[in-house]
Amino acid sequence: MNHIVKCLSSSLLVGMTMVACNSDFLDTKPLDKVSGDAVWADQALSEAFVTDVYNGIRDGILDQMSFDCQTDNALYSFGKQDVNEANVSPSNLGTVKNTMEWSAMYSRIRAANIALANLAKPKFDNATVAARMRGEMYFMRGYFYNQLLRYYGAIPLIKSPYTLDNPDFTIARNTYEECVNSIVSDLDSAAILLKGKTLTSGRATMGAAMALKARVLLYAASDLYDVPTAKAKSTVLAGFNKPELLGYVSGDRVARWTKARDAAKAVIDLNQYGYKLNLTAPVSAAEGQQNYINMYLSRNGGEADGIFLKYYIRASFDDWGSWYPRNNMPNGYHGWTSSEPTQNLVDNYEMMDGTKFDWKNPAHAATPYENRDPRFYASILYDGAQWKPRTPDGAGIDPAGQIQMGEYEVGSSSAPTKYSGLDTRNSSIENWNGTWTGYAIRKFMDPDPTLVDQNIRQEVPSIQIRFTEVVLNYVEACLALGQETEAKTWLNKVRFRVGMPAITETGAALVARYQNERNIEMLFEDQRFYDVRRWMIAPTVLGKQAQIIVITGKLKPGKTVTTYKYSKDNYTYSYSVQDLGTGKENRKWADKIYFLPISRDEINRNKQLIQNPGY
């Protein structure tokens, strides 16, 4: 044993002597990393750093679980959402998307701060490029801060990168008003530095900065963020002793609405964006459906509606967003049906003449999928909808390529047998991933029949900001300011493009029509979650169970069918609307979830943080 110790001691002594004789070893640079000084001295490396900051967007709106699954619009197939059951807390945040998760956003904000600090006096010889990159970083910092602001309320504002020699890493939340002002300042700086850059290229532009500013100011003017209004509508918010973290405690609300209107109009006046918004009457239903598809696919002219998008190419990194069809297609196509539209949503689609759909109307109830808003057919896969050819294992069962969401009879009407649709949870192809609601998503799906979505990624971009949102923001601000004629002019431009008739209501009825129009137009675009909160209608629309449709097809007397196909000649169809059932998800509303909780870990790390009300 002593011999071993002596040998080890000798070896260590020799090693130490060798290191002492060759101290240059300590200065060895890693071969797989680049120093910070080297990055900011090189234009290409600086560009790479700035580009990486955009990765904070992740999959944007094309995530496997649509953010609308935490609203009345949709259900997530693979697990209940705690926020829908008002069951979130600092120790149980529920499902929080990366694009609003506290640490993920602050990580990207820190990266933007590093870039802004180093690009203020660029070390490479191209001031024009450096200014453009600074503009992008101002935009992205404002973008990430707004993601946090609209989810949590006021947050701590950090405008410079922390270093290891900082004496204190804790910081209090700023006021809501300070947060809005800071974000708007960043976006104004971005617009100046990016002046002239308005058309989207996947990067921040002047137009993107101006459009995001319009969104920020619209939210700031809304009911939830006007503390006197919010207190009058919620006892939980009224009892919070730090209301300045949640909204404006004073000031002129008309002035806030005016700023929101003017910011949106400034984007409109650029005359750089917009798709078929110069119509004076509705187009046909077929053209309206195609117009809507063109916009969400960003093709065939519809790309003119895009302002800030994340693009995918099939040959690039395996982005989850490019697998959106596989993740959300029906199981009869070997998709996962992850995010499922609810009957609540489907019932909100108007009839083609602009009237409400009504299950009490016998004609509506007998044929619920006929004569509806063309955006319904462009957005939802429903029973009998024509879709892509089936994969080989389903083509013989369904040669027509039609969505099958029901239970049907086959054989002869006198001795029928039961057949379960290929897109149900009783499917003969796959049953673990079938729809619970009776619907699946079509919006954002490339309809190319040669794309087999289970194994080929699509190249449809994730739309983060589009011009139609700016138009709707303008409409909403005009309504709040009593400018109904101007509001209806622009609202009806949006409707004419998809083949829907003009809205003529006034007052509260007009506001209700606008709110429904915004939901239908901006479906699955991360809008509904925030809209119902800032309008403070969440207790009504989110406080009830998700509804589903149960469909049966019974053979008519004398009919014989060997291979099922949707046919009103052969079948009598019945439709039954039911609550999903509390075993799957017991939805309810509590006012505490107007603002989501800051995690206990963040509170423990930063003793200056004040938790949101109700937690």
Does some domain include residue 10?
A: no
Does some domain include residue 122?
A: yes
Does some domain include residue 357?
A: no
Q: Is the pLDDT of residue 261 over 60?
A: yes
Q: What is the pLDDT of residues 513-548, one digit of tens each?
A: 999 999 999 999 999 999 999 999 999 999 999 999
pTM of the model as a whole: 0.93
Q: Domain containing 120 — which CATH number?
A: 1.25.40.390
532, 378 contact by CB (below 8 A):
no
Residue 530 sits in which domain range? 35-65+76-311+461-544
pLDDT at 11: 37
pLDDT at 581: 83
Does some domain include residue 487?
A: yes
Reported as a pLDDT band with limits 50, 70 and 90, residue 24 is: low
> What's the rounded mean pLDDT across residues 25-33?
54
170 or 186, greater pLDDT: 186
Give backbone dihedrals phi and psi of 72, rounded to 5 degrees, phi first.
-75, -10
Q: How far apart are CA 419 and CA 609, in angstroms?
A: 58
pLDDT at 162: 80
Does some domain include residue 394?
A: no
Does some domain include residue 58?
A: yes
316 or 442, greater pLDDT: 442
Reported as a pLDDT band with limits 50, 70 and 90, residue 33 is: low
Ranges 33-42, 293-302, 591-600: which has the least confidence: 33-42
- Residue 489 identity (one-letter amino acid): T
Q: Is the pLDDT of residue 410 over 60?
A: yes
Q: Is the pLDDT of residue 363 over 80?
A: yes
Task: Please state, for a pLDDT cut of 70, what percent of the chain lies above it.
Answer: 94
Does some domain include residue 420?
A: no
Which pairs from 110-113 meet CB under 8 Å and 24+ separation?
110/158, 110/161, 110/162, 111/49, 111/52, 111/53, 111/56, 112/53, 112/137, 112/138, 112/140, 112/141, 112/144, 113/141, 113/158, 113/159, 113/160, 113/161
Reported as a pLDDT band with limits 50, 70 and 90, residue 583 is: confident
pLDDT at 595: 98
- DSSP element (H, E) containing 239: none
Does some domain include residue 16?
A: no
pLDDT at 503: 98
Q: What is the pLDDT of residues 431-489, one digit of tens each?
A: 999 999 999 999 999 999 999 998 899 999 999 999 999 999 999 999 999 999 999 99
pLDDT at 21: 46
Reported as a pLDDT band with limits 50, 70 and 90, residue 198 is: confident
pLDDT mean across residues, the chain:
93
What's the helix, strand, coil split of the chain in %, to 5? 45, 10, 45
> What's the rounded mean pLDDT across residues 218-240?
98
pLDDT at 3: 39
Beta bridge partners of 523: none
pLDDT at 27: 56
Reported as a pLDDT band with limits 50, 70 and 90, residue 169 is: confident
Reported as a pLDDT band with limits 50, 70 and 90, residue 8 is: very low
Q: How far apart are CA 356 and CA 285, in angstroms?
A: 17
pLDDT at 199: 74
By C-alpha distance, which of 516, 502, 590 is closest to 234?
590
Q: Count the domains in the chain.
A: 1
